Amino acid sequence: MIEQEIQKLRHFMDRVAGNAVTSIGYPFAKGNNYHELYSLLRYPLINLGDPFIESNYQVNSFAIEREVVEFFADLFRAPKDDYSGYVTNGGSEGNLYGLYLARERYPEGIVYYSSESHYSIPKSIRLLNMKSIEISAGYSGEINYDELEESMKQHAHLPVIIAANIGTTMKEAKDDISVISDMIRKLDIEHYYIHCDAALAGVYLPLVEEDPTFDFKKGADSIACSGHKFIGSPIPCGIVVVKKKHVENLAHQYVSYIGSLDTTIGGSRNGFTPVVLWYTLKQQGRDGLLRSALESLALAEYTQNMFQELGISSYRNKNAITVVFPKPSEFICKKWQLATREDYAHLICMPGISKEVIDHFFSDLSKELHAAYVCK
């Protein structure tokens, strides 16, 4: 590599490092060190097909991937020895997979999803050519249960497929699976499937809530979460856990070329990310993840107090690390990489974001407010 290209690479790396410091608007944890895994990058570590069935290709991380799936199956209170799943390329693939399984089980089913759902939900519905109905959400971002019930009642002759939010994109609102399950029973709907998009909150809610309202015990059929968000993988990835009976509908997809079943979306999958997730889970365990969650929740509370001191209104859902506030100037939004919608923005108190970084953000915001006041 010539010197000019080396300099270009160094400038790029410096820019990434600088931008990472002021990234508080998107849910990516920081600070994990994976240097012990670097030597694995020399190998074509690829997972082909279902991780619970060994394939002809042996340079894989299936054994470790199964441990990762087992950890999340236990976290989500899945039935013992009656679950399946795999490490995906991210939460969007997990959502696509959950809806794919639902469609295979109930081809005539209607997907009910919230107006606050992640964009991957309607995108997956289009890709799978499924019938769907969008349900409005309240101010908090939680789905409108009355509207959902009325809509299901009108289409009670068709199977119900629920795409529930366990932490919406902008306000980190959670749909209550217990309420939805009771509603389905009340309407005497026999055929239904509940998928949970728990991309951000799915990792830590089961640790901070004594009886989570979204897991398999509460009626979920599949749950997807991200590995590059709260856990902090440097490479996008996710985990999807499903009831085994749903995957068995795909059992016809045997591929002789790999000598295994391919029950996944992607086929050839990244074999490195399961190791990254496993490494973090083994280092931190439940106790370490809980500490990170409590620290993030405390930082979110501190952030709300700082907004209050400046006389700025803010909003935060219960057990959320996302703080919503009026959209500031374009300069603040760009520097701090804030996610915005209409007239509001949010910041997310992810693991690895320090109180000092939040103070720096408020210093910028305070200077801008002062300058605006002086101009008046």
Structural domain of 203: 35-281
**C-alpha–C-alpha distance, residues 366 and 360, integer Å:** 10
**C-alpha–C-alpha distance, residues 169 and 339, integer Å:** 9
Domain count, the chain: 2
Check whether residue 339 and residue 277 sit in a common domain.
Answer: no
Check whether residue 112 and residue 14 sit in a common domain.
Answer: no
Boundary-marking domain end, from 223, 256, 281: 281
Task: List the beta strands (DSSP E) in the chain.
Answer: 46-48, 83-88, 110-114, 131-135, 160-165, 192-197, 222-226, 238-243, 254-255, 260-261, 268-270, 322-326, 339-341, 344-348
Boundary-marking domain end, from 281, 300, 323: 281
Question: Is 242's pLDDT higher than 90?
Answer: yes
Q: What is the pLDDT of residue 305?
A: 97
Check whether residue 174 and residue 264 sit in a common domain.
Answer: yes
Give me the CATH number covering residue 317: 3.90.1150.10
Tens of pLDDT, residues 11-48 = 999 999 999 999 999 999 998 999 999 999 999 999 99
- Average pLDDT of 121-140? 97
Check whether residue 187 and residue 305 sit in a common domain.
Answer: no
Check whether residue 108 and residue 253 sit in a common domain.
Answer: yes
Q: What residue type is assigned to position 268 of the chain?
A: S
Cα angle 243, 248, 253; round to 5:
135
Check whether residue 241 and residue 301 sit in a common domain.
Answer: no
Check whether residue 263 and residue 324 sit in a common domain.
Answer: no
Q: pTM for this structure?
A: 0.94
Of 47-51, 172-176, 298-302, 332-336, least confident by mean pLDDT is: 47-51
Give me the CATH number covering residue 84: 3.40.640.10
CB 208 within 8 A of CB 219: no
Check whether residue 141 and residue 275 sit in a common domain.
Answer: yes
Check whether residue 76 and residue 11 sit in a common domain.
Answer: no
Check whether residue 238 and residue 306 sit in a common domain.
Answer: no
Q: What is the pLDDT of residue 299?
A: 98
Check whether residue 311 and residue 327 sit in a common domain.
Answer: yes
Boundary-marking domain end, from 221, 256, 281: 281
Of 42-56, 83-97, 99-113, 267-281, least confident by mean pLDDT is: 42-56
Kindly indicate the confidence band of residue 368, based on its pLDDT and cuts at 50, 70 and 90: confident
Kindly indicate the confidence band of residue 374, based on its pLDDT and cuts at 50, 70 and 90: very low
Kindly indicate the confidence band of residue 363, based on its pLDDT and cuts at 50, 70 and 90: very high
Question: Is 375's pLDDT higher than 50?
Answer: no
What region, left, alpha or beta, does residue 171 occupy, with left being phi > 0 and alpha being psi -120 to 50 degrees? alpha
Tens of pLDDT, residues 178-187 = 999 999 999 9
| Overall residue count recorded for the chain in this entry | 376
